[in-house]
Amino acid sequence: MRVFHVTPDQFTELDALPADLPATGFVWVGSARREFEVHAAEIQARLQHWSGATLVDLHVSDLLNNQLPSHFDTTFDYDLLVFRRLAAAPGSTVLADGKRPTRRATREALEAIDTSPVGFAVFDRVLVSVHPADCAVRDHFATRLAQRGQAASARLPTSPAELMLRMVNHMVDSYLELRRLLARQLGELQLELLNPRSHFDDWALLLDARNRLHLLEDTCEDQRSAVQEWIDALDEWPPETDKAAQRERELLRLRSRDVLEHIERVLGHVRRLEQSIETAVQMHFSALGHRTNNIMRTLTVLTAIFLPLNLITGFFGMNFDALPLIHSAEGFWFAFWTMVVVAIGLVAFFWRKRYLGTTPR
């Protein structure tokens, strides 16, 4: 568990939970899910002392739930936002060095998509964030804000709500790396599907890709609903009379709408990937049908060529003594050259009609 004191011009990490809230700024308590479970009683006691309110037991259970979808809830004392991140697990970007993806790498990349939830409890002057054990968002922002605190021109968050929105926006933007990985892997899968020389038979991989994309779509829709509910709740906050407070409120609305717009972009990209997979499958079966039609057309043309030849050989093969040319020395050559002329004529006719070699008109 890490504790930070954030003011408009300074970012400081504290050794432990302070006994009282500082005179200015706010306190950010960031912990992993297991750490939050262990120190829940201590955190609740500090929240009671700081703000006169504690987290509702149901909300504590939500923060500890690793399977909870993105959602938003509000109380008189604080707001609760659970946001499922979209990230690639460590080691899933091994194909960024330009190597051609394989089916195994595609499957590993799809299985490496992580959608663990991150919880935020937003008080007036306290932010409690609960992260997965391997989540780098907390440490990333701790380092980033510490560097900004040392820069004179940098702007630090002025409220717990603003810091929460910054972290949510970072989690949404982290999908960009995952998007490039997915687009490349699924693009190679589509090329293999459409390759006429490829004997694609790994339909389990394709089904898994579709299921993963459906999961991402559901996750993005939950994210959008949660952020939209946060925006609605933000509009219901009591109006501010101070101009500086009004400006801060407007910046929160602006940042919230920006987060919602980023989620909409991610959702649109996921849906485009789903559509491209569906289109690739349809084109794959269309190509198979076209290939089958070409094979059947070629076999039909060959049958049509040899049918009159079989008729001629069958005619001269009948057991009759009075059959014309049967006893003539020129009879064989007459039948042979007749079959050659008929075969060449039929081949030329079918080639002119483009029944051989190319698609017919």
Residue 359 lies in a domain: no
pLDDT of residue 285: 79
Q: Are 193 and 318 in the same domain?
A: no
Number of domains composing the chain: 2
Digitized pLDDT (tens) for each residue of the chain, 361 residues in all: 899 999 888 888 999 899 899 888 899 999 999 999 999 999 999 999 998 999 999 999 999 998 888 999 999 899 999 998 876 655 554 444 444 555 566 666 666 576 788 999 999 999 999 998 877 888 888 888 888 766 655 678 889 999 999 999 888 887 766 777 777 777 777 777 777 777 767 677 777 777 878 888 888 899 899 999 999 988 888 887 788 888 888 888 898 999 899 889 888 888 888 888 788 778 777 877 877 888 888 888 888 888 888 888 888 788 777 777 777 778 888 888 888 998 898 888 888 887 776 554 4
DSSP reduced 3-state for 210:
helix
Q: Within this chain, do residues 265 and 327 fall inside the same structural domain, yes or no? A: no
Same domain, 154 and 213: yes
**229 and 303 belong to one structural domain:** no
How does DSSP classify residue 94? G
In this structure, what CATH number is given to the domain that contains residue 330? 1.20.58.340
Residue 237 pairs in a beta bridge with none
Looking at the structure, tell me whether residues 269 and 235 fall in a common domain: yes
The CA-based angle 155-160-165, given to 5 degrees, is 75
67, with CB counted inside 10 A (0-12, 13-18, 19+), is exposed
Same domain, 202 and 344: no
In a domain, 176, yes or no: yes
pLDDT of residue 358: 55
- Spacing of C-alpha 287 from chain mean position: 27
**pLDDT number for residue 93:** 47
Beta-sheet pairing, 126-131 with 26-32: parallel
Query: Which residue range is the domain that position 60 belongs to?
Result: 2-288
Q: Residue 313 corresponds to which tokens in the numbers above? A: 């050989």
In a domain, 114, yes or no: yes
| Residue 119 belongs to a domain | yes
Domain match, 255 and 325 both? no
The token pair that represents 359 in the structure block: 């698609």
Same domain, 70 and 52: yes
